[in-house]
Amino acid sequence: METVLKNCRRIVVKVGSSLVTNQGAGLDLAALGNWARQISSLSTGGYEVVLVSSGAIAEGMQRLNWRSRPTLLHDLQAAAAVGQMGLIQAYESCFRQHGLHAAQVLLTHADLADRERYLNARATLTTLLSLRVVPIINENDTVVTDEIKFGDNDTLGALVTNLIDADALVILTDQSGLYTADPRRDASATLVATGTAGDAQLENMAGGAGSNIGRGGMLTKILAAKRAAHSGAHTVIASGHEPDVLLRLFQGESIGTLLTAPALPLASRKQWLAGHLQVSGRLVLDEGAIRALRLEGKSLLPIGVRQVLGEFQRGAVVACVSEQGLDLARGLCNYNSDEASRIAGHASGEITTLLGYGGDTEIIHRDNLVLL
C-alpha cells in the first residue's frame, strides 16, 4: 500500500452516515472534529483533500424530532434541507480550529451529465483546493428526484474523483474492508487486502446494504472503485473506526482493502461519458458489434444494432448493451431514436436510401464512445 499511495496528492475521502452521526441521533461532533483534525494534518503535509460526507438527512431527522427515516420524497428533501445547515456549520467550526475553511458543494447528476456544468464544477473544486479550502460535498437531496439520484455517496465520491482527477478515493465505513464473504454471517470470511478495481470476482464477494441509517452496501463501494479507476485513481475501503486511519494510510500503513486502478486513465471527455448514470436510450448490440468494440477498437455501425430502446435526440448519451442486458459502453449517438431505429441492422451504405438523406456512417464514433 505504501508504494501505491506514496505519490498520491489529491484525495477524495468519503465518510458514511454511521461515522458522522450518533446512530441517526444527529451529528457526532467529536467524530467530525476527528475528521477535520486528520484532513488538516494531511493538508499541512501538502495533500489536497475533498470530503464527501453523509449525515444531512440524519441531522435533519434529529432536528425535526423524527425517529425513523421517512419514505416520502418531499419529507426526505425537507430533512436534507434542515440537516445541511447543521452539517456544514459543524464542519466549518471544526476546520476553523485548525486554520482552514470549509466550502459546501451540493451536486446533482444533472450537474455532471451536462458537459458545461461538469467543467464548471471541476473549475470550482480545483480553485477551492488551490486556496487550501476543504470542499464538503454531498448530493443536493433538497431538489433531486429518484430518477436523477446518484443513489449513494459512494458513487458520488467516485464521480468526484473522476471530476477532479484525484489520485485516490478513500471510502471509510463501519466495516474493516472487503471480505471474501459477509463476516456478519460467515465466520470463515477473510479480509481481502488487495485487488484490482473492476475485477468481477470482487462484485461477487460484496454483500448487501448495511445499517438502516445510510443507503450504501459493500457492492456500491466495489462499483465506486471501478468508476474511480476510470481516471486512474486507486481506492481504499477501510474502517473509519481505526484510530487516525487517514494519517496512517498515507504514511504507508496497510489498512482495509486496496483496489488498484488496472489501466491508464481515460481522457477527460471519456471520463465524463463513463460517469453518466442515467442515459437517454439504449442500443442492443449483436455479438459481432460487441467484438468490434471490445477487441478491435472500432466505431459502432448501424449493422451491429439489433434494437433501439427509448426516445432520444441526436447527440444524446446512450448505453450500448448486450442482448442479455449487460451494460457495455456509453456513447454520443449520431442519430435520434427514430433515425437509429430505421437504420439499425443495415449497412452504412444504405443510410441515405433508408432516411432519404445522408448521415454519418457510424451510429457512435469511437472517439465518442467509452467501454465500461
| Contacts of 266 by beta carbon, 8 Å cutoff, 6+ apart | 230, 231, 274, 370
pTM score: 0.77
Q: Tell me, what's the pLDDT at 309? A: 95
pLDDT tens-digit profile of 20-46?
987 766 899 999 999 999 999 999 999
DSSP state of 262: -
Q: Is residue 145 scored above 80 in pLDDT? A: no
pLDDT band at 301 (very low <50, low <70, confident <90, very high): very high
Same topology between domain 2-271 and domain 279-371: no
Report whether pLDDT(121) > 80: yes
Check whether 19 has a pLDDT greater than 80: yes
Question: In sequence order, what are the beta bridge partners of 239?
Answer: 173
Which CATH number fits the domain 279-371, given the four candidates 3.30.830.10, 3.20.190.10, 2.40.50.140, 2.30.130.10?
Answer: 2.30.130.10
* Helix-helix angle 29-44:73-96, to 10 degrees: 50
Closest CA to 340 of 325, 324, 359: 359
CB–CB of 16/157 below 8 Å?
A: no
pLDDT range class, residue 231, cuts 50, 70, 90: confident
Q: What pLDDT is recorded for position 18?
A: 86
Residue with cell 436534507: 80
Residue with the bigger pLDDT between 312 and 358: it is 312
Q: How much is the pLDDT for 142?
A: 66
Distance of alpha carbon 158 from alpha carbon 22, whole angstroms = 26
Mutual angle of helices 153-163 and 218-228, in 10-degree steps: 10
Three-state SS string over 190-257 comes to CECCEEECCCHHHHHHCCCECCCCCCCEHHHHHHHHHHHHHHCCEEEEEECCCCCHHHHHCCCCCCCE
State residue 200's pLDDT score: 83
Q: The cell 456478519 sits on which residue?
A: 184
List the CATH code of the domain at 2-271: 3.40.1160.10
pLDDT higher than 80, residue 265 = no
Between CA 10 and CA 167 the distance in angstroms is: 5
CB count in 10 Å sphere of residue 159: 29
C-alpha cell at 246: 487517514
**316-335 residue pLDDT tens:** 889 999 999 898 999 899 99
How do the domains of the chain map onto residue ranges?
2-271, 279-371
Q: pLDDT-derived band of residue 98, with 50, 70 and 90 as boundaries?
A: very high
For the cut 80, the answer to whether the pLDDT of residue 96 exceeds it is yes
pLDDT at 147: 42
pLDDT at residue 212 above 70?
no
Phi first, then psi, for residue 6 (nearest 5°) are -65, -25
At 261, the amino acid letter reads: A
Q: Please say if the pLDDT value at position 227 is more than 60.
A: yes
- Return the SS3 of 84: helix
What cell was used for 316?
Answer: 444524446
Q: How far apart are CA 138 and CA 31, in angstroms?
A: 18
